Amino acid sequence: MVKNMSKIHVMSENLANKIAAGEVVERCSSIVKELVENSIDAHADSITINLIKGGLDKVQVIDNGEGMDSKDAKLAFGRHATSKLIRDDDLFFINTMGFRGEALPSIASVSEVELITSNGDTSSYIHIKGGEILEENAGDLRIGTSISVQNLFYNTPARLKYLKAENTELYNSVNLIEKLALAHPNIKFTLTNNEKVILKTSGSDNLLKTIHEIYGLNVSNKMLEFKASNNDFDIYGYICKPEILKSNRNDMNTFVNDRVVRNLEINRAINDAYYTYKPEGKYPVVVLKINTDPTLVDVNIHPTKQDIKLSKMNDLYDLIYNTLKDTLYQNLLIPNALKSDSVSIIKDSVIADIVSTMAKNQEKENVQTELDFKIEVNQNESNDKEKSLELKTNEELIINKEMKSLVLYPVGLALGTYIIAENDEGVYLIDQHAAQERVNYERYMRALRERKTTTTRLLIPITVELSTSDFVILKDNLDVLINMGFIIEEFGVNTFKIEGHPTWILENHEEESVRKIIDLVILNKSSFDPVKFNESIAITLACKMSIKANMRISHEAQEELLNELVLCDNPYNCPHGRPTIIKFSIYDLERMFKRVMN
């Protein structure tokens, strides 16, 4: 009887490289990323990326970095060969972009690669196809490295068919280089496609200038600078005014020690800072640079090295949240009516057509991950987060002198919805519903923050009948309502009786308000956060109790509303993030009527 032969074999080096390529090289932009990061690690200050058909036919990266000698050039294509790590401990002090020692051999195993490199003393030319060296000679002595990749996945057709169309692959590469340019404003980046320049930065080491070179004047003119530190983190960068918002998170650019990262907790801190400054589903343009000790950062959790874990994340969250919120608060955020808020991120018309579609697809890929993350955060948030999430009191906030001193004189009502006001600077349109929403929201928030609550007894108690499941939930959370100042008790089957309510409940709207608050208690049963619960109450009641559109109010009521609005902590947006006020400057009006011609 013949015994079975062994089923387990050691893979060849080339097969192992092809498998590794499945992790390292997903698309053309993956090649661009690995090659450009190697150039950055080589201390290049000028990097040129030349693509043919979006990288499908060819990717070439040319830099003026340190280059390599002939021995290192050949060794670089060996698996696990790296200049970034020497000792085991180096894994905990990673300051370079690439570090795994798998990129070049993985790329070379599934494509055709030509390398020309020189350190000024020696030079090398190496031609590799499918992991096999076809030619090895001396090259020219230009200091730096030029590496080109062609015939991607020619020997792995299963992966070749998953490459996207030219425009899609080009978009991914452009998006990557934009982020790398923002991470390294001291490096001059040039990206071409089919010999046409798509993106170019000056390498001026001026972050705002780099933002201008990438996003254009409309965005760079509306960016607000911020800078702050704590014991472990330094943060610096720019955030946009709320009038420049995007429909996806792609322009929330975050960097840790100059590495491009995607981190849901950092994004959450940014979004929380914009809370009530923007509508739900809209996202700001942000360039956030975080510097910290490498030992606090774990970049080993994914081959792309973009998904990271950070120690002391709560401290970083507080720093980002408070800094960004203060930056928004301290700047006058009334949008100018005649300034276009359209943003041309990529100038090339071919790419511009696909930006929206690509961004939406990327957003869909992240939806489930973000939902899972939110559930985990809500379950694990500790009580000490309450302090950092609370809206600051009037005494804690820096007085916004520009807005507090603004005097608006109402002169009429347009379409029954927009108050027309004027002063020495121009004409203003104020959305009466959004404005009163903001006023009411801040009034409710102040009342909900009060430690002492005063209660008003009802002449006729309010009875609320619920389903059995909702009754059980509310009964388990009855202390929430009692702490708020409600006098409530069980009253028969699945019914509660409310005999008193806190004094901040609007008169003649008691029952409606009580039912809204009870609905919110039931809705937040699984992830109850007292601060966000209070905010939800304030937003809900503020909306329901405010004057509506097409409701004409008297001149005196308009004047009272405007006086209350300018005294708000954030008079620029309603609690849902919509603008409350838009300005037409005198100069803008004179230009419109041709009183001035420049």
pLDDT value for 114:
93
Token look-up 């074999």 returns 9
Phi first, then psi: what are they for 126, rounded to 5°? -130, 130
Query: Highest mean pLDDT: which of 9-23, 163-177, 296-310?
Result: 163-177
pLDDT value for 47:
96
pLDDT value for 333:
67
Tokens at residue 385, please?
A: 């987060």
Query: Region 499-514: what's the mean pLDDT?
Result: 81
Higher pLDDT pick, 459 / 164: 459
Phi/psi class of residue 278: alpha, beta or left (left: φ > 0; alpha: ψ in -120 to 50)? beta
pLDDT value for 211:
94
Query: Highest mean pLDDT: which of 34-48, 458-472, 566-580?
Result: 34-48
The answer on pLDDT for 390 being more than 50 is no
Round to whole Å and give the CA distance between 407 and 492.
55
The answer on pLDDT for 169 being more than 60 is yes
- Dihedral, CA atoms, 537, 540, 542, 548, nearest 10 degrees? -170
pLDDT value for 101:
54
Round to whole Å and give the CA distance between 106 and 276.
47
pLDDT value for 489:
87
Q: Give the pLDDT band of residue 318 (cuts 50, 70, 90).
A: very high
pLDDT value for 386:
44
pLDDT value for 481:
83
pLDDT value for 254:
94
Query: Region 387-395: what's the mean pLDDT?
Result: 42
pLDDT value for 200:
94
Q: Give the pLDDT band of residue 147 (cuts 50, 70, 90).
A: very high
Looking at every residue in the chain, the average pLDDT score rounds to 78
Q: Outline where 117-246 has alpha helix (H).
A: 157-160, 166-183, 207-215, 217-220
The answer on pLDDT for 387 being more than 80 is no
pLDDT value for 13:
52
Task: Identify the weakest region by mean pLDDT among 97-106, 267-276, 533-542, 574-583.
Answer: 97-106
Round to whole Å and give the CA distance between 77 and 98.
14
Higher pLDDT pick, 16 / 266: 266
pLDDT value for 151:
86
pLDDT value for 99:
47
pLDDT value for 355:
46
Query: Region 375-388: what's the mean pLDDT?
Result: 44
Query: Region 443-466: what's the mean pLDDT?
Result: 82
User: Which DSSP string corresponds to 410-449?
Assistant: EEEEETTTEEEEEETTEEEEEEHHHHHHHHHHHHHHHHHH
pLDDT value for 540:
78
pLDDT value for 97:
55
Helix (H, G, I), strand (E, B) or coil at 286: strand
The answer on pLDDT for 559 being more than 60 is yes
Among the listed residues 380, 208, 401, 375, the one whose alpha carbon sits nearest the alpha carbon of residue 287: 208
The answer on pLDDT for 593 being more than 80 is yes
CA 84 to chain centre: 30
Domains of the chain: 13-200 (3.30.565.10), 217-343+373-381 (3.30.230.10), 401-584 (3.30.1370.100)
Higher pLDDT pick, 307 / 53: 53
Q: What is the CA radius of gyration of the chain?
A: 30
Q: Give the pLDDT band of residue 105 (cuts 50, 70, 90).
A: confident
